[in-house]
Amino acid sequence: MSNLQSALAVVVGQGQLFLDGDIGERYRVDTTRRHTSRPCCLVRPATTAEVAAVIKIAAIHDLPVTVVGGQTGTVGGAVPRDGGLALSLERMNQIVETDPMSMTMTVEAGCILQHVQEAAEAERLFLPLDLGSRGSATIGGVIAANAGGNRVLRWGMMRDMVLGLEVVLADGTIISSLTKMLKDNAGYNWKHLLIGSEGTLGVVTRAVLRLRPAPTTRQTAIIAMDSFEEAARVLHRLEVGLSGRLSSFELMWQEFFARMTEGQLGRRPRPLPLDHGYYAVVEAMGGDPEGDAAQFERVLGALIEEGLMRDAVIAQSDREAEGLWAVREEMEAGLRSLRPFSVYDVSMGLGDMRRFVDHAEERLKAAFPEAVVLFYGHAGDGNLHAIVSIGRMSAEIQRAYDEIIYGAVREVNGSIAAEHGIGVSRAPFLPWTRSTSELALMRQLKATLDPLGILNRGKLLDALDT
Ligand SMILES: Cc1cc2nc3c(=O)[nH]c(=O)nc-3n(C[C@H](O)[C@H](O)[C@H](O)COP(=O)(O)OP(=O)(O)OC[C@H]3O[C@@H](n4cnc5c(N)ncnc54)[C@H](O)[C@@H]3O)c2cc1C
C-alpha cells in the first residue's frame, strides 16, 4: 500500500477504502454514461471529521477530489478525475433532527431526497423540492446542483430550502453553521456561494432544511391552449385566481404531447385530443378540503368560458392525477424511437421563450431537415427543455446542436444551465451565458477557496480552460 492509501485507510477504516478495479461502476459514470473515469481510490467516510481528514490528505498529495452523490446529474459533474479520489457520503445518511416547531429538518448530505420527503410527511411536514430522480439524488447533490424541479414556481429552488449548512473546505476546515433562521444578514452569506457550486468550493456534509406545513389537498389537470401567448396569460391568471396555490405549470408543445401520449396509448388513453398547440400539466396544493377543488374547477371553467383556455381534464382521484403527470414524466416509450438524442435544459424570461423556440427550431431544421425537435419544461419558472434527434450522433452533430441551442439562448440573454449545472459538458459554452468580468470573479473566488484546485478539478471553470 502506498503512503496515500495507508493514510486514507487510517481515517475511514480499511473496509471503506476501495482501489482501482474494486471501485464499482456507479462511482465512475453519471446517468448519461457519456462520461466515465478510472479514479485511483474511493472512500466512504462516516463523519464530517473523517471527510475533513480525507480532504487534508488529498491536499498533501495533490489528489483531486470529486464528491459522488446519486450520479443523477447529466453534465459529468460527479464523474471523478482519472487517477483522482472519489468521495462518497452514502454512509452519512442520517436524519439528525426534525424540529416541528421551527419546521426544519437537519440531515446528513448522503440522505436520499425521497427518504427526506417521506420523513417530513410522517411528521405532517413537507419538503417542496421534487425531481424525477428523487429515489437516487442525495441532499448533498441537490444542494451542490441547486436543483429545481416541478414546484419552483411556488416554493423556489433548493437554495430557498436550505437554512443552515455545514461544509468542509479545500484545506480541511469545517465550517458548521447549522442554523434555523430564515433571516440572517450578518455579513456575507457564504452559504449561497456554496449552494450550486458543484463540489468545486467545498464538500457539503450536513444541512438544515426549511420545511412547510404539508398541503392536504391537491388538484391536478391537463389544460390546452392554442397559442404561446394564451399559455402565458393562463399561467398568470392561474397564479392569481388560485390565490397563490399554483405549484406546477409544466408546459408541453404539441409535438411533445403527441409523442408522449402516443407512446403511452396501450396503457392509458390520451387525456385531451390533439387539436391544440400547447398543453400543460397544472397542479395546485392547499389546505381547504371543502373549498380548494371547487375553486380549481371554477377558475379553470372561467378561463375556458373566456376563450383563453381551450380544453381541460381534471383528475378525480390520486390515481388519475398520477396518470396525468405520467404524460410529462414517463418519457421512455415516447422517446425510444428518437434515440440517440440530446436534451437541453435552458432558461429565460417567459416573454423571450417563444422567440427562443422559434429561432432554435428554425435553425436546427435548416441545418438538419430531418430533425425532430421537442419542447417542454417547467415553463412556469422560465425553464425549458429541448430534445433534438436526427437518429444518429457524433461529436460534430452534438457540437452543431449545442451551437444552435446555446446561440439562441444567448440572443435572449438566457442561461445555458437552468438545472444540473455546468460540469464538463456545458463548460465550453459558459462564456456564452456569463460575461468576462463574471468569469474573472468566479476564478478569484475559486482561487481563494481552493488555491490548490483539488475540489472537483476539471469541472466548471477548469473544464472551460482545458
Ligand atoms: C430522471 C431525472 C430527472 C431529473 N429532474 C431534475 C429536475 O427536475 N430538476 C433538477 O434540478 N435536476 C433534475 N435532475 C438532475 C439531478 O437529479 C440533480 O442535479 C440532482 O441535484 C443531482 O443529485 P445527485 O445526488 O445525483 O448528485 P450527483 O449527480 O452525484 O452530483 C452532482 C454534482 O454535485 C456534486 N456533489 C454531490 N454531492 C455533493 C456534496 N455532498 N458536496 C459537494 N458537492 C457534491 C458532484 O460532485 C457533482 O458536481 C434529474 C435527473 C434525472 C436522472
List, as one string, the DSSP characters of 221-266. EEEEESSHHHHHHHHHHHHHHTTT-EEEEEEEEHHHHHHHHHHTTT
User: Which pTM value belongs to this model?
Assistant: 0.96
Q: Ligand 1: which atom is nearest the Cα of residue 132?
A: 3
The residues of the chain scoring below 50 in pLDDT are none
CATH code where residue 248 lies: 3.30.70.2190
Is residue 416 in a domain? yes
DSSP 157: -
SS3 358: helix
What spacing in Å lies between the alpha carbon of 180 and ligand 1's midpoint? 24
**Cα(161)–Cα(413) distance, rounded to whole angstroms?**
27
C-alpha cell at 419: 438545472
Last residue of a domain, one of 308, 333, 358: 333
- CB-ligand 1 contact for 65 (6 Å cutoff): no
Last residue of a domain, one of 194, 213, 232: 213
Q: Ligand 1: which atom is nearest the Cα of residue 73?
A: 29
pLDDT given for residue 1 in this prediction = 66
- CB-ligand 1 contact for 407 (6 Å cutoff): no
Q: Which helix (H) or strand (E) holds 168?
A: strand 162-168
CATH code where residue 33 lies: 3.30.43.10
pLDDT given for residue 374 in this prediction = 97
Give the CA distances from residue 161 to residues 127, 143, 183, 185, 199, in Å, rounded to whole numbers and listed in that order.
Answer: 8, 9, 13, 17, 18
Q: In terms of domains, do 100 and 206 share one?
A: yes
What spacing in Å lies between the alpha carbon of 258 and ligand 1's midpoint? 29
Last residue of a domain, one of 31, 64, 90: 90
pLDDT given for residue 379 in this prediction = 87
Q: In terms of domains, do 206 and 106 share one?
A: yes
- CB-ligand 1 contact for 414 (6 Å cutoff): no
Q: Which residues, at least 6 apart from 337, have a Cβ–Cβ distance to it below 8 Å? A: none
pLDDT given for residue 35 in this prediction = 85
| Segments forming the whole domain that contains residue 400 | 339-420
State in Å, rounded, how far the first CA of the chain is from the last one: 32
- CB-ligand 1 contact for 84 (6 Å cutoff): no
Is residue 83 in a domain? yes
What spacing in Å lies between the alpha carbon of 31 and ligand 1's midpoint? 10
DSSP 455: B
Q: Which residues, at least 6 apart from 336, have a Cβ–Cβ distance to it below 8 Å? A: 263
Q: Is the peptide bond before 451 cis (omega within 30 degrees of 0)?
A: no
Is residue 429 in a domain? no
**Cα(125)–Cα(100) distance, rounded to whole angstroms?**
8
